Amino acid sequence: MAKESVDVLVEGGKATAAPPLGPALGPLGVNIGQVVAEINTKTKDFAGMRVPVKVNVDKDTKKFEISIGTPPSSELIKKEANIKTAASNAVAEKVADLKIEQVIKIAKMKKDSLLGRDSFARVKEICGTCDSMGIMVEGKQARETISDIAAGVYDEKIRKEKTELTKEELATLEEERKRLEEELKAREKEFRTKAAEILKVMEGKTASQIQTKMREAKIPDVIIRELAPVEQKAAPAGGAPAKK
């Protein structure tokens, strides 16, 4: 029997026959509508997240089997933190805060795909991902929480694989997320105001000089790319041939 597999990432519960799924399945002669419907049924619990899906197709009988993986750690973290995007600058920006129970929960879900050999190592691994996304754990930078884990601060919770939070704890985390969101908006407004001042003061200067000045003012690169002028490419030597 000739078998072929298709691996794709789809949004939980929202797979369609559009690319990348449809074009990959089309040549295999399988009923795409049935495949899409089964994928959406199996991934509905991962709504809002990108989920790895493998479709195994028997090219002779046109029968198919679907296996669902767990979303990437970053997607699970964003889901727990109730945010859509990670920080653009994880060092300077913090977009959310997680409790150690939430990190333990994600580590359990990703157990088979993480490198850590035990629960402690896997929890540290998820904390490392949080750190790269600008997400705190237990009210501090995630790298500090990793040190606390090594020091035994969360030994009992990790051993017991505690993952449940009270309504009060969840409400507190949501308040903290909103506070951090407002702080980021205020900081962005300040950076944009500062960038506008630099553009005004340095009018007539080269794009490189303006960009350097903005970086010295610690304006984020994403704002510099949006507002600063772009260096013009030099014209070819000799210029274009003159028209007759």
Q: Which amino acid is at 171?
A: A
Domain boundary among 119, 140, 165: 165
What's the pTM? 0.70
Question: Which of 33, 52, 68 is where one domain is finished?
Answer: 68
Domain count, the chain: 3
Q: Is residue 172 part of a domain?
A: no
Q: Are residues 127 and 62 in the same domain?
A: no
Classify strands 96-98 and 135-137 as parallel, antiparallel or unpaired. parallel
Same domain for 79 and 147? yes
Q: Which domain holds residue 28?
A: 3-68
> Do 46 and 81 have their domain in common?
no
Here the tokens at position 60 are 């002779």
- Position 241 pLDDT exceeds 60: no
Q: Is the pLDDT of residue 100 over 80?
A: yes
What single-letter amino acid sits at 46?
A: F
Do residue 151 and residue 183 come from a single domain?
no
Residue 127: which pLDDT band, with cuts at 50, 70 and 90?
very high
d(CA 149, CA 146): 5
Q: Please tell me the predicted confidence (pLDDT) of residue 244.
A: 47
CATH number for the domain that contains residue 106: 1.10.10.250
Asked if residue 236 belongs to a domain, the reply is no
156/98 same-domain check: yes
Q: In the prediction, which pLDDT does 238 show?
A: 57
**What share of residues in the chain are helix, strand, coil (percent, to 5)?**
50, 15, 35
Q: Are residues 151 and 125 part of one domain?
A: yes
Asked if the peptide bond before residue 20 counts as cis, ω within 30 degrees of 0, the response is: yes
The number of C-alpha atoms within 13 Å of 241 and in the hemisphere containing its C-beta is 2
Give 101-167 as a 3 state SS string: HHHHHHHHHCHHHCCCCCHHHHHHHHHHHHHHHCEEECCECHHHHHHHHHCCCCHHHHHCCCCCCCH
User: Region 210-230: what's the mean pLDDT?
Assistant: 91
pLDDT band at 46 (very low <50, low <70, confident <90, very high): confident
Domain assignment present for residue 237? The answer is no
Picking from 68, 94, 114, the residue at the C-terminal end of a domain is 68
To 10 degrees, what angle do helices 100-109 and 119-133 make?
Answer: 110
Question: What would the pLDDT profile of 131-150 be if each residue is shown by its tens digit?
Answer: 999 999 999 999 999 999 99
